């Protein structure tokens, strides 16, 4: 049974630790005096606030208080290996069509991460008011520093120009004037590095509460930050440290990585915890209902709209069909040898509803798409989020399956990337082959190019949320999307089954970063400019 330390106080903290105004996302939380005293004057108060932060972090999978897992999904759009279908946010992020600073997802992501920074600053600032030798206080401070580093990394990856603050808001300083100016990238990364270095010195190698930060989590985030900062040596050092700890191991088969509801296995470094138990769900603060997430729906096409098809688990369960792997991604696999081609995707649907079978078709026959509309209904899908373990039935839209945030396969590919830039091809090949041969391919022994690494990154980590960031940091985003974004497919009779390549034309130089939310520009004033191109 999961015991990630979700307690009733998680929701209580989120309720009482609010923003000073619903429109002011940059303001740190304001507290009533009793709450403030509790949070900043005892190790237990610090620990309770950190617990609330884990709960808050899960909102990314539910897009804050919305009913869908939109925000997490949007982080997977706009790259070279996916094609969008329909849904809110698809035009702007999936096709780069008229992305504007007024977009609510642009604002929500900014808001979410600055909320986490506000919590973290409060916990870290509380250390001066408590017994600094307390193990509870030290653990809380270390976890808060990981949260702060992680939030700042997410912000600088997407927006480039961000506001940097380490000051905890208090009733005494909340109305002090603030001059908002973009922080230099060096200052942002310096803070991220310091926070993670401090956390590594305190956090344990392992934890009895799955989902809590460990030393491995901090090092993984540190490596990712270093790669984005083009600090290849630091990235390599962190990956090597994770490897040397011997705390993680690749599973023997790719299909096992996402098999089951509980994904706290040897390959997992950080897992978002979900369960049908108290504390294992998301509480919608608008409706006060307890729900899971809907990640499984986003990647499952609307197969049930075809005659002869009914919703069932073998077909993927309840569908929404928001985002699919494109044919370019499929072409990167050696279909004869690479197990991931079948382990991570579903390509065909068979008739399963006798009552609505088309004429001449039989149960078990494969449905062959003959039009664009039909192809969209049975488009190949990513199966990493499929869930037949926690849903009450196949029509259930709520999933309580864990979501892997970081895993060792990504660590190894980050090591490969770092050592390639350091011109240490022996080490780069070693890390490359960890995932490549696990998938059933023969060991790669020849020259290794950056494109080879990009291809393996796609094969292993597709639709796990890092592709856009990888392409951006390697300055490949524009060229890769213009060459492969979206999808174009014609069948053997010349019928266009897929013709959604708008992103190849739409993407512009300024789309390598998101706009600063309009609400924030209005709050911060003329001293904080909008990103170029928006």
The domain limits of the chain are 8-228+515-524, 406-511
What residues does 498 pair with on adjacent strands? Answer: 489
3-state class (DSSP) for residue 272: strand
Assess whether the region 8-228+515-524 and the region 406-511 belong to the same CATH fold: yes
Q: What is the pLDDT along the chain (534 residues), one digit of tens a residue?
A: 354 333 333 333 333 333 332 334 343 333 333 355 666 679 999 999 999 999 889 888 875 554 455 789 999 999 999 999 998 899 999 999 999 999 999 999 999 999 999 999 999 999 998 999 999 999 999 999 999 999 999 999 999 999 999 988 776 777 777 889 999 999 999 999 999 999 999 999 999 999 999 999 999 999 999 999 999 999 999 999 999 999 999 999 999 999 999 999 999 999 999 998 777 776 666 666 678 899 999 999 999 999 999 999 999 999 999 999 999 999 999 999 999 999 999 999 999 999 999 999 999 999 999 999 999 999 999 999 999 999 999 999 999 999 999 999 999 999 999 999 999 999 999 999 999 999 999 999 999 999 999 999 999 999 999 999 999 999 999 999 999 999 999 999 999 999 999 999 999 999 999 999 999 999 999 899 999 999
Q: For the residues of 146-176, what is the DSSP string, one character each?
A: HHHHHHHHHHHHHHSS-----PPP-TTTTTS
d(CA 406, CA 271): 7
Any idea what DSSP says for residue 473?
H
| Residue 38: predicted pLDDT | 64
d(CA 90, CA 502): 12
d(CA 474, CA 464): 18
| Residue 475: predicted pLDDT | 98
Q: Per DSSP, which regions of 318-466 are E strands?
A: 323-325, 345-346, 381-382, 403-407
Which among 270, 131, 260, 268 is positioned nearest to 214, based on CA atoms? 270
| Residue 286: predicted pLDDT | 66
| Residue 31: predicted pLDDT | 35
**Token pair 């991460």 is at which residue?**
113
Q: Which residues contact 34 (CB under 8 A, 6 or more apart)?
A: none
d(CA 513, CA 501): 20
d(CA 531, CA 523): 15
Does the domain formed by 8-228+515-524 have CATH 3.30.2090.10?
no
| Residue 281: predicted pLDDT | 75
**CATH architecture entry for 406-511:** Alpha Horseshoe (1.25)
CB atoms within 10 A of CB 133: 8
Any idea what DSSP says for residue 291?
E
36 with 129: CB under 8 angstroms? Answer: no
| Residue 88: predicted pLDDT | 86
Residues in the chain: 534
């Amino acid at each position: 049974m999961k015991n990630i330390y979700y307690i009733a106080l998680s929701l209580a903290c989120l309720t009482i630790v609010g923003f000073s105004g619903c429109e002011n996302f940059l303001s740190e939380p304001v507290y009533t005096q009793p709450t403030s005293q509790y949070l900043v004057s005892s190790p237990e108060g610090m620990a309770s606030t950190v617990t609330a932060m884990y709960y808050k972090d899960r909102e990314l999978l539910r897009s804050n208080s919305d009913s869908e897992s939109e925000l997490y999904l949007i982080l997977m759009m706009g790259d070279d290996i996916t094609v969008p279908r329909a849904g809110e946010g698809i035009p702007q992020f999936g096709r780069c069509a008229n992305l504007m600073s007024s977009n609510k997802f642009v604002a929500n992501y900014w808001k979410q991460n600055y909320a986490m920074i506000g919590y973290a600053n409060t916990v870290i600032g509380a250390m001066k008011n408590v017994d600094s030798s307390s193990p509870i206080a030290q653990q809380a401070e270390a976890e808060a520093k990981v949260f702060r580093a992680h939030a700042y990394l997410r912000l600088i990856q997407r927006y480039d120009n961000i506001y940097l603050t380490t000051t905890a808001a208090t009733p005494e300083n909340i109305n002090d004037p603030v001059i908002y100016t973009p922080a230099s990238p060096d200052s942002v990364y310096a803070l991220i590095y310091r926070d993670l270095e401090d956390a590594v010195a305190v956090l344990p190698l392992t934890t009895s509460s799955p989902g809590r930060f460990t030393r491995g989590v901090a090092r993984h985030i540190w490596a990712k930050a270093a790669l984005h900062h083009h600090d290849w040596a630091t990235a390599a050092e962190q990956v090597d440290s994770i490897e040397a700890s011997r705390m993680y191991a690749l599973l023997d088969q790719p299909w096992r990585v996402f098999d089951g509801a509980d994904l706290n296995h040897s390959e997992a470094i950080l897992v978002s915890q979900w369960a049908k138990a108290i504390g294992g769900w998301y509480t919608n603060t608008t409706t006060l209902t307890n729900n899971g997430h809907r990640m499984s729906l986003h990647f499952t096409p609307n197969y049930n709209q075809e005659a002869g098809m009914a919703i069932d688990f073998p077909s993927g369960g309840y569908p929404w069909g928001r985002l699919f792997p494109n044919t370019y991604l499929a072409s990167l696999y050696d279909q004869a040898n690479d197990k991931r081609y079948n382990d991570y995707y579903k390509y065909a649907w068979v008739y399963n509803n006798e009552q609505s079978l088309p004429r001449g078709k039989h149960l078990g026959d494969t449905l062959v798409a003959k039009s664009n509309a039909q192809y969209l209904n049975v488009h190949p899908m990513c199966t990493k989020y499929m869930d037949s373990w926690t849903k009450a039935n196949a029509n259930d839209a709520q999933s309580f399956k864990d979501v892997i945030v970081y895993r060792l396969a990504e660590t190894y590919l980050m090591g490969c990337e770092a050592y390639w830039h350091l011109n240490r091809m022996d080490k780069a090949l070693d890390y490359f082959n960890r995932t490549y041969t696990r998938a059933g391919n023969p060991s790669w022994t020849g020259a290794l190019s950056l494109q080879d690494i990009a291809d393996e990154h796609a094969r292993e980590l597709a639709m796990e949320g890092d592709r856009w960031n990888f392409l951006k940091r390697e300055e490949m985003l524009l060229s890769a999307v213009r060459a492969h974004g979206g999808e174009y497919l014609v069948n053997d009779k010349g019928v266009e089954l897929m013709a959604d390549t708008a992103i190849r034309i739409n993407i512009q130089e300024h789309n390598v970063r998101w706009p600063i939310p309009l609400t924030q520009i209005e709050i911060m004033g003329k001293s904080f400019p909008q990103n170029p191109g928006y």
